[in-house]
Every structure is written in C-alpha cells, then in structure tokens.
Amino acid sequence: MAAIVSPQFVSPQPVDLAIVRKFLALTEGSFGVTDAQGNPLFRVKDRLLHIHDYRVILDVNENPVMTLRKKLMTMHSRWQVFRGDSTEDKDLLFTVKETSMVQLKAKLDVFLAHNKDEKVCDYKVRGSFFERSCMVYAGETSNIVAQMHKKMTAESILLDKTRFNVTVYPNIDYAFITAIMVILDEINRDV
C-alpha cells in the first residue's frame, strides 16, 4: 500500500496505538497518541478561537503532520484532512463523511484526495462507537486494515480521559488511521 500521509508512518509490522482523549487539556492538546510501549507518536491540538472547527496533529517534534477541518453547512458530518498545517485544496489528503444523517452505528466513508466524484469510498469505518468497537476496511471490501477498541478504566474515569486501543495492520499508514479515529470520536461527541 502506498503511504497516504507519509512513508515514515507505514510499518511492515502491525502497529498498536493508544489514543487518549484528555477532556481538560488546554495546553498539551486534546489527544495524545503513543505506541504499545508508551512512546509518544502524535499530539492533537485544538485550534481555539477560530471560526472553523479544526485540529492539528503534531509529531513528537511538534511539527504539523495533518490538519483536520470540519466542514460547515453540510448535510452529513464531513471532515477534510490536509497535509501539515495547510487548509488549501492542493494539500488535501482525504475526506471523511458520515454515510447518513441519522446513525445508530459508526458508518463513515473515507475518500482519498484523487477520488473527487466520491461514488465509491476508498476506506470505510463500520462498527459501534458506543459498544467501543469498530473496524476500518479497504474500500467496499471485507479486508480489515485497522480495528479500534475503546478502553474504560478507573483511571480514565478519575482523570477524565478516554482511551482507544487501535491495531493498525501491516503496511497501513498509522497517521492516516489516527486521523480517522480522532474524527470518529469528534463526530460521536457531537451526537
């Protein structure tokens, strides 16, 4: 598989991620992402006091990897993801949208930047956010590329954090999957 964000985020081995949403974190960002050993990979920073709803995913050196921007005035919840800290069309990497306006289960379609007609998705997310489980599939196939399990612990409740454990399959861009999981959480928080 070709890298969607960057080849540096593609591993020939499965990658286990822990994505932790911090509710009361204004300075360090709203999400932290580590590998299975606890090594930091990304931090998601909210853009406060801005007309658009968007987040920036930073690497461990605080370099912007992607910008996630929620589109306003759409029938379905739709997010656009851009390279670095850009929001220009030329830097669009992919778009994520809900498959229908009313959903009881997680159903997102992902369209890569070159897929402008959006008739067939390049990736899809299916599962139940409230049951704490979903899968990311390649296109309209049953080929799983990543799976998420939300983990609730006493620590997460006491410290006001939510943890997602995500397994990204070999040769899949784990920065791309991280962005999808953050968007999935944002969409489900809006419900």
- Residue 151's pLDDT band (boundaries 50, 70, 90)? low
Q: Is the pLDDT of residue 162 over 60?
A: yes
DSSP 72-134: SS-SS-EEEEEETT--SGGGEEEEEEESSSS-SSEEEEEEETT--S-SS-SEEEEEETTTTEE
**Hey, what's the torsion of the CAs at 9, 120, 189, 159, to 10 degrees?**
-20
Q: What is the pTM of this model?
A: 0.88
Q: Decide which of 120 and 1 is more confident.
A: 120
The pLDDT tens digits for 7-49 are 999 999 999 999 888 765 454 557 899 998 999 999 998 765 4
Contact of 16 with 146, CB cutoff 8 Å: no
Contact of 174 with 6, CB cutoff 8 Å: no
Instruction: Please state the φ and ψ torsions of residue 80, each to the nearest 5 degrees.
Output: -110, 140
Task: Say yes or no: domain 12-188 is CATH 2.40.160.200.
Answer: yes
User: What secondary structure letter does DSSP report for 37?
Assistant: T
The pLDDT tens digits for 99-117 are 765 555 678 999 999 999 9
CB neighbour class for 108 (10 Å; exposed up to 12, middle 13-18, buried from 19): buried
